[in-house]
Amino acid sequence: MPGTDSLLTTDWQSTIAALGGADFLSTSARETKAFQRARVIANPLDLLRLVLAYCLGERGLRLTAAWAAAVGLADISNVGLLWRLQQCDAWLAQLVGQTLSRHAPAACRGRLIRLIDATTVPKAARDERGRNGVWRIHSAFDLPSERFGHFEVTDESGGERLDRIAVVKGEIRIADAAHLQPERIAAVLAEGGDVVVRAAWRNGRWLDTDGDPFDLIAAFEASQTDVIDQPVLLSRRAADPIALRLLARRLPPQAADANRRRARRAAQKKGFTLSRDALTAAGWIVLATSLPAATFASEDVLALYRLRWRVELAFKRLKSVIGLKGPPGTDERSARAYILAHLLMIVLLEPLVDAFEDSPHWAIAA
């Protein structure tokens, strides 16, 4: 049976191969100026191992530096390690992008389905007003490959946008109600994509096909069926409205009551009483889509939107399996590198986690 050292060597070599090989790693490290000359750290591969050991471990800078000296990796101070981490954000971002592109499906034989969402981790320090900031991780989770296909890291000023990620012609982009953004939807459609976006009852200015205001609450109250499916226009500033399809489904009584309870609790915390319209809307799920009714029945569109749980599960893996949390320290470049190192690991480990969870041993343990 191989010893720990040989297993470590095998695992590290597998990691290097998965990231594109030693030559690619060395070249990209020099191109991004993460590694410029061999001094305290002998080569880019040792630099990567050191950075990942700090970002993915629990030792902190000082103990990671001591560990590196103990195993003969590098005799470096904690200050020196922090400086090198600060130089690695562009390199790690390139490695994430390259690894994602290698694992991407062949521009979707069928149609690519992209789940657009973001998650946050807290910053270590408060701003000048005493508020906690966040790092926001914007992502696209691709189906049927069931892999993250895109990451972008911003601070709290980087809002969620439906068109933040380049469109693959023919893709279907699925997002929650925060992404009901008329100008952004128009941009996705212009590039050849389709959308399925959740709509809160008040976050869109709806028009009927004649251009007159469309009263969504009145449509709910008048509906004699459990599904409303009709063409509408979504108004946008200083431009023609977008022709979309509004699809609403009445929730089962138990789910509607639970929605209303949650809404009432949220309103009480904020010190106001829910309107009658809000209580009516809580009994429905509303989607806006560009998918034509001739080829996508209402149940098909609703089933597509239900796939959003996959990206929520992927975020849970990122935080629980990979261990992503708020980066330590207040330096922005080292914080970005810390987050990117975790994103790199989820890209590499997703196939292994899937294989483990699909195994009979996992099923028995569960």
Per-residue pLDDT of the chain (366 residues), as tens digits, is 344 344 457 788 888 888 889 999 999 999 999 998 888 899 999 999 999 999 988 888 999 999 999 988 999 999 999 999 999 988 998 888 777 766 554 433 468 889 999 999 998 877 667 677 899 999 999 887 778 888 999 988 899 999 998 998 999 999 999 999 999 999 999 999 999 999 988 878 899 999 999 999 999 999 999 999 999 999 887 788 999 999 999 999 999 899 899 989 988 888 888 889 989 999 999 999 999 999 899 998 998 898 888 888 889 888 888 888 888 877 888 888 999 999 888 888 776 655 544 444 433 333
- Per residue in 34-57, pLDDT tens? 998 888 899 999 999 999 999 988
Q: Are 34 and 47 in contact (CB under 8 A)?
A: yes
CA distance 78 to 56: 16
- Per residue in 334-365, pLDDT tens? 888 999 999 888 888 776 655 544 444 433 33
CA distance 205 to 216: 10
CA distance 28 to 354: 29
CA distance 295 to 168: 20
Q: Are 189 and 290 in contact (CB under 8 A)?
A: yes
Q: At what angle do helices 44-56 and 332-357 cross, to 10 degrees?
A: 80
CA distance 168 to 171: 6
Q: The tokens of 339 are what? A: 């987050």
| 97 contact partners, CB below 8 Å, separation of at least 6 | none
Left, alpha or beta for 130 (phi > 0: left; psi -120 to 50: alpha)?
left
Buried b (16+ CB within 10 A) or exposed e, 273-284: eeeebbebbbbb
Indicate whether this model's pTM tops 0.85: no
Strand order in the sheet with 147-155: 147-155, 132-143, 113-126, 172-175, 194-198, 284-289, 239-250, 227-236, 206-207
Q: How confident is the model at residue 354, as a pLDDT?
A: 53
CA distance 151 to 247: 30
Q: What is the CA radius of gyration of the chain?
A: 24
Helix (H, G, I), strand (E, B) or coil at 56: helix
Q: Are 262 and 281 in contact (CB under 8 A)?
A: no
CA proximity to 337, closest of 7, 14, 54, 2: 54
**Domain spans in the chain, listed from the N-terminal domain onward:** 4-96+338-361, 177-298
CA proximity to 65, closest of 46, 78, 48, 51: 78
